Amino acid sequence: MMRWFPEDPSAQSNPVASMSGPIPVQAGQYQTNGPFLALSTFDSHLTAEISSDGLSMASLAAGAKTEGAAFLWSGARATHGVPSGPGSSARPCFFEMKIIEHLDVPPPATGAPPEWARGHARLARCGWSGPGADLHLGEDRAGWGYGGTGKKSTGNSFADYGEPFGLGDVVGCFLDPRPGCGVLLFSKNGRALGPAYTLPAHWRGPLYPHVLVKNCRCAVNFGPAPWCPPPPELQAFVPLAGLGGALAPGPRPPPPSQCEVIMMVGLPAAGKTCWVERFVEEQKSRTIYSVLGTNQIIDQMKVPGLKRQRAYRERWDELIKLSTGVFNALLAKAARHPRNYVIDQTNVYQSARRRKLRPFRDAGFRTKAVVLVCSQEELGRRSARREREEGKLVPREAVDNMLVNFVLPGPNEFDEVIYSEEPREVAERTLKDAVPAARDRLRAGPAPGSGGGGGGGGRCR
């Protein structure tokens, strides 16, 4: 019989010596304390609908006002991971994932992307990822996944592996974290599919169970009793719960009083998204910031082979329409889920800022504004660069309307205000100087064939 790993005699003993299996999460309670072994309500997409016990998850349901949800992938990591790399004493282990429901998702009235026609509307991917890895499992170099199309993936590179899986199939995700091994492999319905990946020699740190779903509900099993016993060649592997105290706890959400919501304020193409991306990357090693904006929602609308640049050019109006309804649903949900947020929109209207912030203030969040105002000449250069790179253009009339209604944050509106580009005095003068020309253009009406001077969701907006 083929054996890929050395036999571990201790694997025949009770695999749950120090943990009795998944400890249920009480309904309505967040995972701030205790040895929960479940899907994390914190280290996940806000679109992930995780059950009260933390052992099943669905993507955000599509509805009349959220038809764009039908295109979204939603990912989540587990609350605990497996130490790996030099010095790891963790035993080979596994967890299981099963698609238990296909969500009822009618094709959106605005049309469907190519993968819908190929029958890929309901999919799942499972595997392992490191702390801070992209929640789209397998799309950066710190995640390794196996998907329902019969593909394995890491670093956004997809290759044939195993075979497709779907509703009712049990997928085993196996990891040997011991130094010198670092092997990841998968099984389907108790049949081993062979090694998929070997961890890079430089890998350090824990690996967390990770699931990613689209228009379906999946269940996970961390032990102690597997749905499908490991195949004979993988008997050395124990259910994840069997590692007990050797598990590495992942990030936990702070209480709302220690959470903050950062609201970006600035015209289209002012550089808000560039600021957000740098900030989130810098904070990654300290804490998690969830970004709320159309950019991020469109990024979750993954279409194989279609980069966001092309997506904007080919069906920008459709994507914005689909993402706006999802954004509104997430904004309504966010304040009930303690974490740090960045709202990446223009937010130049004071009344809109107050409306968006009200539920966060009521929940006890700290509020911060980051304001970006640049000269009209620089805004024009940034707009032109974004149009070249992403094909995004918002009508000049829309930008002028925002400009004449732009109100800088006032006293007591936020707990803190940061002017990231020009100081407030310069920002006030820049806006004051630009408003008369904007008013004149609005009175004159749009010029025939005129384009935009910025957009609402570009890479450097």
Residue range 5-24, pLDDT digits in tens: 333 323 333 222 233 334 33
Instruction: Give residue 31's pLDDT.
Output: 42
pLDDT value at residue 259: 95
pLDDT in tens, 53-98: 999 999 998 887 888 888 889 999 999 999 987 777 889 999 999 9
137 vs 62, which has greater pLDDT? Answer: 137
> Which range is least confidently modeled, 159-168, 309-318, 398-407, 409-418?
309-318
175-184, 338-347, 362-371, 378-387: lowest mean pLDDT where?
378-387
pLDDT value of residue 387: 76
User: What is the average per-residue pLDDT within 115-135?
Assistant: 84
Report the chain's mean pLDDT, rounded to a whole number.
84
pLDDT at position 29: 37
Which CATH number is associated with domain 39-249? 2.60.120.920
In this predicted structure, the answer to whether residue 307 has a pLDDT above a threshold of 60 is no
Residue 328 has a pLDDT of 93
CA–CA dist 374, 266 (Å, integer):
9
pLDDT score recorded for residue 388: 77
> What's the pLDDT band for 310 if we cut at 50, 70, 90?
low
- Choice between 1 and 138, residue whose per-residue pLDDT is larger: 138
Q: What confidence category does residue 117 fall into, taking pLDDT thresholds of 50, 70 and 90?
A: low
Average pLDDT for 309-326:
71
Let me know if the fold of 39-249 is the same as that of 256-444: no
Tens of pLDDT, residue by residue over 153-199, are 999 999 999 999 999 999 999 999 988 889 999 999 999 999 999 99
- Rounded Cα gap, residues 359 and 335, in angstroms: 6
**Residue pLDDT, tens place only, 211-253:** 999 999 999 999 999 999 999 999 999 999 999 888 999 988 8
Does domain 256-444 fall under CATH 3.40.50.300? My reply is yes
Listed by start position, the domains of the chain span 39-249, 256-444
Instruction: State the Cα–Cα distance between residues 408 and 436, nearest whole angstrom.
Output: 17
At 172 the pLDDT is 99
Stretch 366-375: mean pLDDT, rounded?
A: 96
Q: How much is the pLDDT for 20? A: 36
Instruction: Give the C-alpha separation, 414 to 262, whole Å.
Output: 10
pLDDT score recorded for residue 305: 42
How confident is the model at residue 447, as a pLDDT?
Answer: 65
| Average pLDDT of the segment spanning 445-454 | 56
**Does the pLDDT of residue 2 top 50, yes or no?**
no
pLDDT above 70 as % of the chain? 82
Helix H, strand E, coil C: the string for the chain is: CCCCCCCCHHHHCCCCCCCCCCCCCCCCCCCCCCCCCCEEEEEECCCEEECCCCCEEEECCCCCCCHHHHHCCEEEEECEEECCCCCCCCCCEEEEEEEEEECCCCCCCCCCCHHHHCCCCCEEEEEEECCCCCCCCCCCCCEEEEECCCEEEECCEEEECCCCCCCCCEEEEEEECCCCCCEEEEEECCEEEEEEEECCCCCCCCEEEEEEEECEEEEEECCCCCCCCCCHHHCCCEEHHHHHHHCEECCCCCCHHHCEEEEEECCCCCCHHHHHHHHHHHHCCCCCEEEECHHHHHHHCCCCCCCHHHHHHHHHHHHHHHHHHHHHHHHHHHCCCCCEEEECCCCCCHHHHHHHHHHHHHHCCEEEEEECCCCHHHHHHHHHHHHHHHCCCEEHHHHHHHHHCCCCCCCCCCCEEEECCCCHHHHHHHHHHHHHHHHHHHHHCCCCCCCEEECCCCCCC
pLDDT of residue 178: 87
pLDDT at residue number 312 = 54
